[in-house]
């Protein structure tokens, strides 16, 4: 893992600002994610974590600021270039966001059918789907519909779908929200296994302290739309700042 400041980051946000009407959500947020790193961004509900991560992949247009992924400024990319860049990013949505009219197999095949040739993936679709499902321990659900799966299983299938194109960066938006403690631990363990197996760089948006403790190499606390504090879990947990302490006391 490389986290040194002199290596160029795989993902960088500089002075990101976004407001909705009168409400300023992000007020100059900065972030650098290095190769192989697990970076956790923690913040209260409504602090702008999800807005930030959606700006990153171009789902929301930022008001100002620079977003660079793999040394490409996403603001200047055309549709085709942005779509190609997105194939290098896996995204796990808070609510799983599985296509509910498709089976698990079709959900996983969907990105493959479009980008397999473009990404020069030589393995056949079936084996790639099975490999992704095996990674999350759900090979037996291949022909099930998402509605037939539990919340935890849906999250794992969504994780398999995020991994199917073997992305270099994975963005996790509240990966453990809405899950029971045991399933949460399973998801966190899966995230660690994935990072070890594929050496992905992960940006994890969460307010789950347990998740942050287990998975993070580095953390950023997002308060009032800015980076309020930054450091390892242990460093932040020891902080005497009441705003920082508020995260760890809960």
Partner 1 sequence: MTGSSNRIGAFFEEAGELVLFTGRFFAEVFKPPFEFKELLRQCYQMGNRSFLLVGVTGFILGLVFTLQSRPTLMQFGAESWMPSMVSISIVREIGPVIIALICAGKIGSGIGAELGSMRVTEQIDAMEVSGTNPFKYLVVTRIVATTLMIPLLVILGDSIALLGSAIIENLKGEVSFLLYFNQVFDALKFSDLIPATIKTFFFGFAIGLVGCYKGYNCSKGTVGVGEASNEAVVYTSMLLFVIDFIAVFVADIYYG
- Which residues would be at the binding site for partner 1 (CB under 8 A)? 54, 57-59, 79, 83-84, 86-87, 89, 91, 93-95, 97-101, 110-111, 114-115, 161, 165
Angle formed by the axes of helices 125-135 and 104-115, nearest 10°: 130
Nearer to partner 1, 158 or 223 (CB): 158
Residue 114 CB, shortest distance to partner 1, in Å, is 6
Nearer to partner 1, 42 or 162 (CB): 162
Nearer to partner 1, 128 or 236 (CB): 128
For residue 113, what is the enclosing H or E element? Answer: helix 104-115
Residue 146 CB, shortest distance to partner 1, in Å, is 10
| Structure-token match 């302490």, residue found | 245
| Structure-token match 């789902």, residue found | 59
Inter-residue contact 184 to 190 (CB < 8 Å): no
* Burial of 71: CB neighbours in 10 Å, binned 0-12, 13-18, 19+: exposed
Residue 123 CB, shortest distance to partner 1, in Å, is 18
Inter-residue contact 185 to 215 (CB < 8 Å): no
Nearer to partner 1, 98 or 215 (CB): 98
Inter-residue contact 29 to 225 (CB < 8 Å): yes
Residue 105 CB, shortest distance to partner 1, in Å, is 16
* 3-state helix vs strand vs coil in the chain, percent to 5: 40, 25, 35
Angstrom distance (rounded) from CA 225 to CA 44: 11
Triad 212, 225, 54: Cα angle to 5° = 70
Nearer to partner 1, 60 or 229 (CB): 60
Nearer to partner 1, 57 or 209 (CB): 57
Nearer to partner 1, 162 or 219 (CB): 162
Residue 139 CB, shortest distance to partner 1, in Å, is 22
Residue 115 CB, shortest distance to partner 1, in Å, is 6
Residue 156 CB, shortest distance to partner 1, in Å, is 15
Inter-residue contact 184 to 172 (CB < 8 Å): no
């Amino acid at each position: 893992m490389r986290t040194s400041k002199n290596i160029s980051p795989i993902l960088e946000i500089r002075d990101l600002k976004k407001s909705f009407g009168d409400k300023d959500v992000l007020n100059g947020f900065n972030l650098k994610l290095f190769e192989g790193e697990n970076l956790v961004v923690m913040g209260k509900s409504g602090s702008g974590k999800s807005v930030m991560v959606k700006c990153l992949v171009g789902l929301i247009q930022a008001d100002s600021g620079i977003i660079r992924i793999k040394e490409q400024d996403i603001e200047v990319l055309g549709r085709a270039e942005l779509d190609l860049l997105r194939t290098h990013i896996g995204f796990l949505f808070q609510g799983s966001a599985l296509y509910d009219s498709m089976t698990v197999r079709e959900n996983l095949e969907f990105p493959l059918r479009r980008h397999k040739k473009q990404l020069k993936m030589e393995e056949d679709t079936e084996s790639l789907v099975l490999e992704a499902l095996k990674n999350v321990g759900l090979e037996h659900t291949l022909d099930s519909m998402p509605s037939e799966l539990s919340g935890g299983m849906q999250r794992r299938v969504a994780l398999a779908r995020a991994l199917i194109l073997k992305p270099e960066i994975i963005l996790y938006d509240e990966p453990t929200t809405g899950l029971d403690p045991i399933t949460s631990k399973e998801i966190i363990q899966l995230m660690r296994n994935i990072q070890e197996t594929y050496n992905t760089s992960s940006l994890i948006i969460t307010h789950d302290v347990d998740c942050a403790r287990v998975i993070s190499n580095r953390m950023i606390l997002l308060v009032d739309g800015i980076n309020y504090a930054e450091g390892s879990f242990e460093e932040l947990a020891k902080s005497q700042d009441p705003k920082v302490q508020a995260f760890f006391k809960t």
